[in-house]
Amino acid sequence: MASPTSRWRGAPWQGALTASGWGFVGTGVVVLLAAQLMGRRDLLHLAVFLLLVPAVAWLANRLFRPGLSVDRASDPPVVEAGHTAEVRLGVGHTGVLVGRLSMAEHLPASLGEGPDFAYPGRTVGTDGASRYRYQLACPHRGLYLLGPVEARSSDIFGLAEQRTRIDSGTRLTVTPAPVPLAASVLSGLRGIDGVIATRMQANPSEDDVMTREYRHGDPMRRVHWAATARQGQLMVRQEESATSPEATIVLDLRRDAFPTATGRPAPPGEWAPGPPEFEWAVTATMSVAAHLAELDYTLRLLDADGTLALSHSPSSPAPDAPDFSGREGLAALAEGLAAILPRNGENAPLAPAIAAHPSEGFGDLLLDRIEAHRQRGPLVAILGRTSAQDARVLAPAAASAERALALVVTDRPGACRGAVQTLRAAGWLAIEATAHTRLESAWLALTSGMPPW
């Protein structure tokens, strides 16, 4: 599917003499001085000719400016990192063409050098527009600006040249590529067998009732007195309607979770990726999401503070979506991960800046949202730098999940050993990794508990 085309009328032309034009001017001045010194009329005529030719060329370029327009479409409009997109251009004009006209496509440096092409092109559509296409390799996730196209118009002698940009560019979204993960880590979960059956009918029998401990706020009408008598504490009926298995993924976007990226700021129009540890975390999130989607789980993606993680992403097509399911849901989640950054990171200049807010660690909102989907599927947390104190706050969430897994990525081995041990003591399968750790190895190491160094 091709993206909507980008169409935009050009900016004002900016003209100047070329090196050849200035050569004519310089030669004309020298000949004019010689004519004055030598008193020769023929040299004077030659000097006037040499000075008039570039002036006429410059004036002709000013008077005969074609009106140019460009259509651009990428196929696909959203591409997975490591794959190639085909970019198609249609360039048309109105008015008279005088001299030579060429085009150059501008691209971000990370995508390579854009192509140059002559106008009119070899392929002309029924609308009179010249058609061009080129292949674009997309090695890394992010938001990229394709274009603008710069037009260069010169006279037939190449003495004067004018340039203008004839479009505002088109946004290309590159999503992170998932890494295949071993199925054995999640084996044995009831969600893998499909839809969770309804356990509570209108008139359930005593043998068909699920119960749990009474929690503050539960209505008394749900108290199951027989189970209360057997257990010796207040028990309530746990009603479950038929539903698809659900999985919760926590992507750590805290201010201090990842080291600050080093290096110079990205130029305008360029995508500025996060630190290597965060890029690893995003790839892990995409891989876990794809793995769970294959098992027919409905996915929820939360930030460490309990808010919807994709609400912080300038590339998300559904920043307020509470969950994602099926192929379309996974595609929307992948698109949201294309430009997500830590809350202290600077977003790409292609989208409005996302205001950073203070890091508050793991809060009650996160625990409440995990508890709201109690025992409906696994909980997977992809964390950055985490202290043992933060881990103690998150640790009780393991009781709300069928299985709780944590991948803690740090800038150096052993930096979060205390957090990993705290999570394991609470029932989590937790492992520490670095940006150089193979994701497949870290995923498998969750079951063994041995660091994949």
Cα separation, 284 vs 382, in Å, equals: 7
pLDDT for position 269: 58
Mean pLDDT, the chain, integer: 85
Q: Which two tokens stand for residue 91?
A: 């360039």
Residue 299 has a pLDDT of 97
Report the length, in residues, of the chain.
453
Give the DSSP H/E element, type plus range, for residue 238: none
Reported as a single tens digit per residue, the pLDDT across 110-168 is 898 999 999 999 888 888 899 999 999 999 999 999 999 999 988 888 899 988 889 88
- Could you say which DSSP state residue 176 is in? P
DSSP at 450: -
User: How would CATH label the architecture of 6-17+64-175?
Assistant: Sandwich (2.60)
Among the residues of 338-416, which ranges form H helices?
Answer: 364-372, 388-394
For the chain, the domains span 6-17+64-175, 183-195+244-448, 206-237
Asked if residue 352 has a cis previous peptide bond (ω within 30° of 0), the answer is no
CATH code of domain 183-195+244-448: 3.40.50
Tokens (6 digits) for 210? 């699920």
Beta bridge partners of 17: 160
Distance (Å, whole) CA 378 – CA 372: 13
Helix axes 276-294, 326-337, angle to 10 degrees: 180
Query: What is the rounded CA–CA span in Å between residue 289 and residue 319?
Result: 16
How many C-alpha atoms does 292 have within 13 Å on its Cβ side?
Answer: 31
Give pLDDT < 70 ranges for the chain.
1-12, 190-209, 217, 238-243, 260-270, 344-360, 453
CA 65 to chain centre: 39
